[in-house]
Structure 1
Amino acid sequence: MQMNPVSKLALWLILLGSVLVSFAELDYGHCERVVKKWADSSSSSREEHVINKDKRSLQDLLFFLHVPRTGGRTYFHCFLRKLYDSSEECPRSYDKLHFNPRKEKCKLLATHDDYSLMAKLPRERTSVMTIVRDPIARVLSTYEFSVEVAARFLVHPNLTSATRMSGRIRKNNVISTLDIWPWKYLVPWMRQDLFARRDARKLKGVVIIEDDNPYDMEEMLMPLHKYLDTPTAHDIIHNGATFQIAGLTNNSYLSEAHEVRHCVQRYKSLGQPVLQVAKRRLDSMLYVGLTEEHRESASLFANVVGSQVLSQVVPSNATAKTKTTKSESGSGKSEIQNGTSEVALSKMDVKSGNMTVKTLMEVYEGCISHLRKSQGTRRVNSLKRIYPANFTRGTRTRVPNEVIEQIKSLNSLDVELYKYAKEIFAKEHELVSKNLVLTSKRSIVDLPNELRSVFGEMNDEKLWKFVSLALMLLLLFLFFLFVNARRRKTSKVKI
């Protein structure tokens, strides 16, 4: 029986569909094996050793795993650089091929590198800390910062000129934002988009922008909803915190990172093993802060990390050296000038052994006020170049609900990880608060003993005589005040 053309076409389509389904099943099976193998190796006995040891004890090396746009730069400048000398900092791996973690007396490593860097560090002697942020706020902040830094290059007449200038800056050994992950990918991409839109506006002549929503200003910059759906955003931004803490970014040291990340992005269900690894790593960390709980996080850091660093300081008469820092974009003069007094004060206090948790917090508060002011000024000056686009806390309310839901959906792993981080933070905060209360109670109980040490080795009889004499003098003083008050009252009556 001969089949008609329509029947043949239908049969071919069925066969093609079956083949495609088979390939898809095969591909899913392959991805499942790849992700499982990575997850199993990430839960090795060596990592379990790190999780099971006393994570609250600061080890020889502190690795600050800095998730972008979580406020980590503030911690670095206003906490860590107050506690550690420049000679104690490890070379940061802006170029991972040249990274050397074995620097002598290396005690602090602060970098945007992901957790895979632990493969190059002395794992048993390393404490890890990080800060986690609400995924919606982190994604919005990433978009805003990409635009802000890219807009700085609009002072140049064209993209070629801007690219040449950034190349010259990097040759002069100045640390640029373009050297740091993920900005080395996101900023050039956004810069190219801004120049293309500026050139298009010039061709059109006068362009009137009526919309005041900076997240949807098509004539000026890439709209947020389009930005979120680009391959670059999918590869770098979405679930960025989970991939970074799991060690699976496109900047990873692991050879299998790209394939594992690709499989998770393709098959959503495969994200769960990655999420569990990231959660376990948060559990093993010395400190987990929350961007939204700014004051409580800073206090927790000072009491958990700061107190241990300060306890290791050996008092000396060394003269404090004021340390200048190079901005991520190559011009941090205002930051250096504003922060000088705080840096000098804190270095002097640390070296002399006079710094306490309380003074550390005072120095931190003074430092962040200057840092935020300089960052705010720079932000305003950068965004002037793409006026009327402007980003403030208030403008975020203009992001449509459907876009917010889009961010949540694209960052479902980060949403779950953030919830888990909040649970860890609440437990640690409660524990530290209890310890502080117990310490205060002990101080009150030990007060008589402290008084005894102040007045020397007195026996009970001598101490009682001293207290009696002090009370007698106090009574005489009060009697004198009483008599003097009576005399004044009598004199007024006579008049």
Structure 2
Amino acid sequence: MYVCMDPALKLCVLLLILLGLVNGSFAENDYGRCESVVKSWARSSLDEEMTKDDKHTLRDLLFFLHVPRTGGRTYFHCFLKKLYPSYLECPRSYDKLRFDPSKPKCRLLVTHDDYSITSKLPRERTSVVTILRDPVDRVFSTYEFSIEVAARFLVHPNLTSATKMALRLSSKTKGVSTLDIWPWKYLVPWMREDLFARREARYSRGLNIIESNDSYDMEDFAMPLQEYINDPVAVDVVHNGATFQVAGLTNNSYIAEAHEVRHCVQKYKTLGKYVLQVAKKRLDEMLYVGLTEEHRKSATMFANVVGAQVISQLNAPNTSLETTDKTERSSFTDNDPDSSEHQNSTLDRGESAVTSSEGGEATEFNMTVGELMDAYEVCISNLRKAQSRRRISSLKRISPVNFTKEARLQVPEEILHKIRSLNDLDLQLYEYAKAIFNKQHKTSLLITEESWDNISGSAYGLWRVVTLAITCVFFIFLFLLIVNVRRRTSKVKK
């Protein structure tokens, strides 16, 4: 039976159909626009990338692209500060550039800046090194460190007091606070506000709390990991952070189109392949790519690949280091971004003093690779002890929260799966970095073997010369002895 539709209902249905068509068309157009933007950026980036025939040769300026929570602080304090004297270190620019990059008289730049900073550096004279970490572990570490640093502010009675004190300290010191440094300038204030809110909520309930055995899911004390990874702040700053940093597309980028490209890739995952292509190309062109998980191998390779060349470069007789204006380097000193603290207690100040002195500084250029590794072992031991003390001190303020390797094992698989899904680009880049690392490691071993072969060959050649010389001396001595005996015999007969 035919039923007549009410005119108003017909109009509603028609509008819904039109709205669906418009939305579909808009989505299609938006994807097309994003695809065009991302492809254009990728083409431009790949065209700018110079293929270096001697990419394994250290150039005048060494740029350490420090991906947060990968162990870069260890390399800076225990390797680079041992190699480069302070006047050759570019003023640390973790918050902003503090020197004229077009005319750098310094030789070492260490920063959390992304790759886009190289657009301001003399690329033909710059070598880049970096370290990557398993993306899941890096997300865990970022979450833990965000809360650890934020917890230091809980010595204050409320958030207002903590914020005012931080601003007051920042205005009085030349140092750079963690709150000025990417990505912590976004993550720490976010966690700081959250920790104070949760503490006030506990107090308002008369401290009647329900404790959990899972340190990553104690919502009465800190933001649960699951909530953290799904928050828009983490999506924009943390997830796929290594890929965006190597590609030069973080929200701290120096290129104008970075935000649009990043947001397009976050919105349409299929466009991520273009960003990944650029990031892989840049890893290919780096002097050194280390892995946090392969700590010992990475450190040894860094010493052999980078350290040996720095030592050779600084010892070169035609070096221009003596003419470098030592006063050009800013007297600015800053706290290390992974260790700087909100110093409101004697304990915090004491620990900071340990951190600032434990790294040591290069005092001479004639260090050997072996001596560098020995110094590294001592330094890393001190750093780990200081880091452990800082963490224990901070987490006491949100006890019973305690981040450990054992506690990570309690995190449900569904959360781990979510982290992997949110960091799909980083997972692919990490696998690519592992292949580069293994190739570099084999090359490093071959170079070491060749060095030993050369040493052995030289030693063998020297031994042959010495043996021949001894033989000649012996025969000469024997000849002279025989001649002398004959002369004596001849005299006796006469």
Task: Give TM-score scaled by structure 2 length.
Answer: 0.86
In structure 1, give the amino acid aligned to 2:225.
Answer: L
Q: Corresponding residue for 1:43? A: 46
User: Does the CA-based 8 Å contact 2:95-2:176 persist in structure 1?
Assistant: no
- The 1-side partners of 2:68 and 2:420 are apart by 18
The yes-or-no answer on 1:22 pairing with 2:31 is: no
- The 1-side partners of 2:96 and 2:357 are apart by 31
Instruction: State the shift of 1:438 in Å.
Output: 1.7
The yes-or-no answer on 1:424 pairing with 2:436 is: yes
- The CA deviation string for residues 246-304 of structure 1, in whole angstroms up to 9 with x for no partner, is 00000000110000001000000011000000000000000000000000000110000
Q: 1:392 to 1:459 in 2, by over 3 A?
A: closer
- The 1-side partners of 2:273 and 2:285 are apart by 19
The yes-or-no answer on 1:343 pairing with 2:360 is: yes
- The 5 A counterparts of 1:116-155 are 116-155=116-155
Q: 1:97 to 1:460 in 2, by over 3 A?
A: closer
* Worse-matched range after superposition: 203-212 or 35-44: 203-212
Instruction: State the shift of 1:439 in Å.
Output: 1.3
User: Does the CA-based 8 Å contact 2:134-2:427 persist in structure 1?
Assistant: yes
User: Does the CA-based 8 Å contact 1:339-1:370 persist in structure 2?
Assistant: no
Q: Corresponding residue for 1:374? A: 386
Q: 1:468 to 1:340 in 2, by over 3 A?
A: farther
- The 1-side partners of 2:475 and 2:408 are apart by 64
- The 1-side partners of 2:214 and 2:384 are apart by 24
- The 5 A counterparts of 1:315-464 are 326-328=335-337, 329-330=340-341, 333-334=350-351, 336-337=353-354, 340=357, 343=360, 347-348=362-363, 350-351=364-365, 353=366, 355-450=367-462, 460-462=468-470, 464=472
Q: Corresponding residue for 2:207? A: 206
Q: Let me know the Cα RMSD of the aligned residues.
A: 2.5
- The CA deviation string for residues 354-380 of structure 1, in whole angstroms up to 9 with x for no partner, is x11111111001000000000100000
Q: Corresponding residue for 2:346? A: none
The yes-or-no answer on 1:58 pairing with 2:53 is: no
Instruction: State the shift of 1:334 in Å.
Output: 3.8
Q: Corresponding residue for 1:298? A: 299
Q: 1:274 to 1:445 in 2, by over 3 A?
A: same
* Worse-matched range after superposition: 167-176 or 35-44: 167-176
User: Does the CA-based 8 Å contact 1:90-1:101 persist in structure 2?
Assistant: no
Q: 1:201 to 1:211 in 2, by over 3 A?
A: same
Instruction: State the shift of 1:443 in Å.
Output: 1.1
- Report percent identity of matched pairs: 58
User: Does the CA-based 8 Å contact 2:209-2:220 persist in structure 1?
Assistant: no
Q: Corresponding residue for 1:33? A: 36
Q: Corresponding residue for 1:90? A: 90
In structure 2, give the amino acid aligned to 1:33.
Answer: S
- The CA deviation string for residues 83-110 of structure 1, in whole angstroms up to 9 with x for no partner, is 0111111123234365532465210000
- The CA deviation string for residues 115-150 of structure 1, in whole angstroms up to 9 with x for no partner, is 000110000100000000000000000000000000
User: Does the CA-based 8 Å contact 1:342-1:366 persist in structure 2?
Assistant: no
Q: 1:374 to 1:342 in 2, by over 3 A?
A: closer
Q: Larger relative CO (CA 8 A, sep 6+): 1 or 2? A: 2
User: Does the CA-based 8 Å contact 2:63-2:128 persist in structure 1?
Assistant: yes
- What's the secondary structure of 1:186's corresponding residue? helix
Instruction: State the shift of 1:341 in Å.
Output: 7.5
Q: Corresponding residue for 1:75? A: 75
User: Does the CA-based 8 Å contact 1:324-1:336 persist in structure 2?
Assistant: no
Q: Corresponding residue for 2:223? A: 222
- The 2-side partners of 1:466 and 1:369 are apart by 55
The runs of 5 or more residues in structure 2 that have no matched partner are 323-331, 344-348, 478-494
User: Does the CA-based 8 Å contact 1:90-1:103 persist in structure 2?
Assistant: no
- What's the secondary structure of 2:254's corresponding residue? coil
- The 2-side partners of 1:468 and 1:244 are apart by 72
In structure 2, give the amino acid aligned to 1:100.
Answer: D
In structure 1, give the amino acid aligned to 2:399.
Answer: Y
Instruction: State the shift of 1:327 in Å.
Output: 4.3
- The 1-side partners of 2:453 and 2:208 are apart by 69
Instruction: State the shift of 1:237 in Å.
Output: 0.4
- The 1-side partners of 2:334 and 2:13 are apart by 69
Instruction: State the shift of 1:466 in Å.
Output: 6.6
In structure 1, give the amino acid aligned to 2:264.
Answer: C
- The 5 A counterparts of 1:102-181 are 102=102, 104-171=104-171, 172-181=173-182
Work out the number of aligned pairs and report it: 452
Instruction: State the shift of 1:312 in Å.
Output: 1.6
- The 2-side partners of 1:324 and 1:234 are apart by 32
- The 2-side partners of 1:138 and 1:90 are apart by 27
In structure 2, give the amino acid aligned to 1:57.
Answer: T
- The CA deviation string for residues 51-83 of structure 1, in whole angstroms up to 9 with x for no partner, is 232110000000000000000000000000000
User: Does the CA-based 8 Å contact 1:288-1:424 persist in structure 2?
Assistant: yes
The yes-or-no answer on 1:250 pairing with 2:262 is: no
In structure 2, give the amino acid aligned to 1:326.
Answer: N
Instruction: State the shift of 1:24 in Å.
Output: 0.5
- What's the secondary structure of 2:436's corresponding residue? helix
Q: Corresponding residue for 2:239? A: 238
- The CA deviation string for residues 223-247 of structure 1, in whole angstroms up to 9 with x for no partner, is 1111111110111001000000000
User: Does the CA-based 8 Å contact 2:62-2:107 persist in structure 1?
Assistant: yes
- What's the secondary structure of 2:314's corresponding residue? coil
The runs of 5 or more residues in structure 1 that have no matched partner are 470-495
The yes-or-no answer on 1:266 pairing with 2:267 is: yes
User: Does the CA-based 8 Å contact 2:304-2:444 persist in structure 1?
Assistant: yes
